[in-house]
Amino acid sequence: NWTTGSVIEEQVEAIRAQVGDKRAICGLSGGVDSAVAAALVQKAIGSQLTCVYVDHGLMRKGETEQVEKDFVAATGANLKVVDASERFLTALAGVSDPETKRKIIGREFIRVFEQAQLEILQEEGPEVAFLVQGTLYPDVVESGGGTGTANIKSHHNVGGLPEDIEFELVEPLRQLFKDEVRMVGQELGLPDEIVQRQPFPGPGLGIRIVGEVTKDRLDLLREADAIAREELTVAGLDREIWQCPVVLLADVRSVGVQGDGRTYGHPIVLRPVSSEDAMTADWTRMPYDVLAKISTRITNEVADVNRVVLDVTSKPPGTIEWE
């Protein structure tokens, strides 16, 4: 007999039994799964948990603050925030190939996260032995069902630590589906902005700028994206729309006319999709007046954007993201 309360109780017991009086680390991504996993472990072992959030500078407007303030306020968790945005920008400089961007972001992310783990180990001693992960039931099935351990290697060791450190994994969401995870998160008091968050790719806005990723372009895209999200929420479309990537075509220059003269700016693409599982998707037939409002606001409020276009491609053949 499944109830959210019984799942929480059961998992709290299991986490306490597994971790004992040792310490655990959990990486937060800003997404639902890692936040709920961390909140559960926090409920079970309190200050024995340290959460780590790597700010890669590729998040949407307000999302880092949501983790820093709202998540901490809701859970009381210890949080270590690593601001690595400069490092990511440097690593991405001059790169416009989508797959290369993905690889760079993934690689830097692992390096920064492992560095943070090593610092925590040095501060808190070798009894840190557990790594919390927000693995869901569909991930377990897909990967063949094994539970595991994780290694951090010595290649960027900050010194004074054993060659390899092995973590035992804590995966309190292994039996749950996404909707159940959201219910558990809500019951644990996490804010709706976290619990109801739509899918967002790990490489973040880095793969929503077609062209090189720069600070200015990120700031511009963050503004356009915030306007689109705000208007979709006001229009009550957050449930109907699975996710709505907002993409900056930074390598395209479009001509516009604003005020007295011609402008040379960039187009923004809106990509609202309806989907069950992101494997297939269709473009959302959303009301013209909402599209008009978003378009007017973005072209008025975001400098260097003089055109807003709508992506009307289903998946397949188009993917949800542009890169």
Q: Which residues are annotated as a binding site?
A: 29-35
Among 201, 265, 267, 272, interactor with ligand XMP by CB under 6 A: 201
The phi and psi torsions of 31 (rounded to 5 degrees) equal -90, 175
Record the tokens describing residue 305, joined without a space.
Answer: 């954007």
Residues 163 and 9: beta-carbon distance below 8 Å: no
Task: Say if residues 323 and 210 touch (Cβ distance below 8 Å).
Answer: yes
End-to-end CA distance of the chain: 43
Choose which of 16, 102, 111, 297 interacts with ligand XMP (CB under 6 A).
102
Beta pairing, strands 254-258 & 273-274: unpaired
Give min distance, CB of 276 to ligand XMP, in A: 12
Segment lying near ligand XMP (by CB under 6 A), choices 2-10, 56-64, 199-207, 215-223: 199-207
178 contacts ligand XMP (rule: CB under 6 A): no
138 binds ligand XMP (CB under 6 A): no
Q: Exactly one of 85, 157, 263, 319 binds ligand XMP (CB under 6 A); which one? A: 319
DSSP H helices, the chain, are: 4-19, 32-45, 63-65, 72-75, 85-92, 98-124, 137-142, 178-187, 192-195, 215-234, 288-301
Q: How far is the CB of 19 from ligand XMP (least distance, A)?
A: 27
CB 5, min distance to ligand XMP, A: 30
Residues comprising the binding site for ATP?
29-35
Q: What is the distance of C-alpha 314 from the center of its chain?
A: 24
70 binds ligand XMP per the rule CB under 6 A: no
When binding is defined by CB under 6 A, the residue of 34, 42, 135, 243 that contacts ligand XMP is 243
Residue numbers at the binding site for ligand XMP (CB under 6 A): 102, 199, 201-203, 243, 278, 315, 319-321
